[in-house]
Amino acid sequence: MKPAPFDYYDPRSLDEALGLLRRHGSEARVLAGGQSLVPRLNLRIMTPAVLVDLNHIPDLAYVEQTNGVVRFGAMARQRQIQFSDLVSATLPLLGEAIRFIGHLPTRTRGTIGGSLAFADPAAELPALVTALDGDLIVRGPSGERTLKPAEFFVGPFRTALAPDELLVEVRLPAMPRGSGAAFAEISLRENHFALVGVAAQLTIDGAGRCAVARLGVSGCPTPMRLRPVEEILERHGLGESVVAAAADRAAELVDPLEDVHASSAYRRRLTRTLVVRAVAAAAARARVVEHDRG
């Protein structure tokens, strides 16, 4: 199949793009990387009257660091992020998660903002941004506002973006010293949509204790930050029995989707397995970093 007819606009500035969204409202859809949107257009799952293409707005394609915060323009390509020296040095969790997204050709087109705004429950980046409690910068006719992940993601394929707003920037804190991170997921096929994914970042203090834990999970209607699980690790450490108890708690907390690919109960079991796997890998990497510092 081919898309239903639509009017196509190719703005060259953010203000022009916002003007088009203001004019066309809910009849418009935004084209970023297009790796999720275009197949849905072809299948006529989506039939917008207007398509606003952001691919020729150069001001939205940056990756830079300011005062310990790594800032990503919404049109920064996933491949650009994957091979960024800055990301490797400051946000290894992001670099690892990016490698699970599709294949290199799709990452060459896919964007960080497009993935987040599409809000696919199976996507890696929403879970990662949730784990790191990032900031999502949104711009519209009334100016700019900053949303936390829990505010931004409101349901499967649904965000808090108004029809005349755009996600313009993502801000993530650089990984603290003494930290390790890992991303783990299970899918039916390699590089296919994940059934469940877990992002973990742990900071270990000089005494070898878990000072800060951050965990996010995909596979639920919206990405979840597992704060009660983090508290178990921060209070009781990273021993095998503690990690097992934390993983059990994670399986209790999540409310996974149920579909033709997997039941909710199966996704709960996967969550437990992946929390153990991601925490163990993150802890091992943090200990290596701490040992090297010592």
Domain assignment present for residue 2? The answer is: no
What domain range is 72 assigned to? 58-173
Domain assignment present for residue 106? The answer is: yes
Per-residue pLDDT of 165-201, as tens digits, reads 999 999 999 999 999 999 999 998 877 789 999 999 9
| 207 and 267 co-located in one domain | yes
Computed over every residue of the chain, the mean pLDDT equals 95
**Contact of 140 with 65, CB cutoff 8 Å:** no
Q: What is the pLDDT of residue 98?
A: 96
CATH classification at residue 144: 3.30.465.10
| 81 and 32 co-located in one domain | no
Q: What is the pLDDT of residue 193?
A: 87
**Contact of 262 with 247, CB cutoff 8 Å:** no
| 185 and 283 co-located in one domain | yes
Instruction: Answer with the one of 148, 173, 198 that is the final residue of a domain.
Output: 173
| 130 and 156 co-located in one domain | yes
Q: What is the pLDDT of residue 173?
A: 98
Mean pLDDT for each 10-residue chunk of the chain (294 residues)?
Answer: 91 96 96 91 93 94 96 97 97 96 92 97 97 98 96 97 97 97 93 92 92 97 98 97 98 96 96 98 87 54
| 142 and 244 co-located in one domain | no
| 77 and 47 co-located in one domain | no
Domain assignment present for residue 1? The answer is: no
Domain assignment present for residue 74? The answer is: yes
| 24 and 85 co-located in one domain | no
| 69 and 83 co-located in one domain | yes
CATH classification at residue 15: 3.30.43.10
Q: What is the pLDDT of residue 192?
A: 79
Instruction: Answer with the one of 173, 197, 230 that is the final residue of a domain.
Output: 173
Give me the number of domains the chain comprises. Answer: 3
Q: What is the pLDDT of residue 292?
A: 57
Domain assignment present for residue 105? The answer is: yes
Q: What is the pLDDT of residue 189?
A: 82
Q: Are strands 7-9 and 50-53 parallel, antiparallel or unpaired?
A: parallel
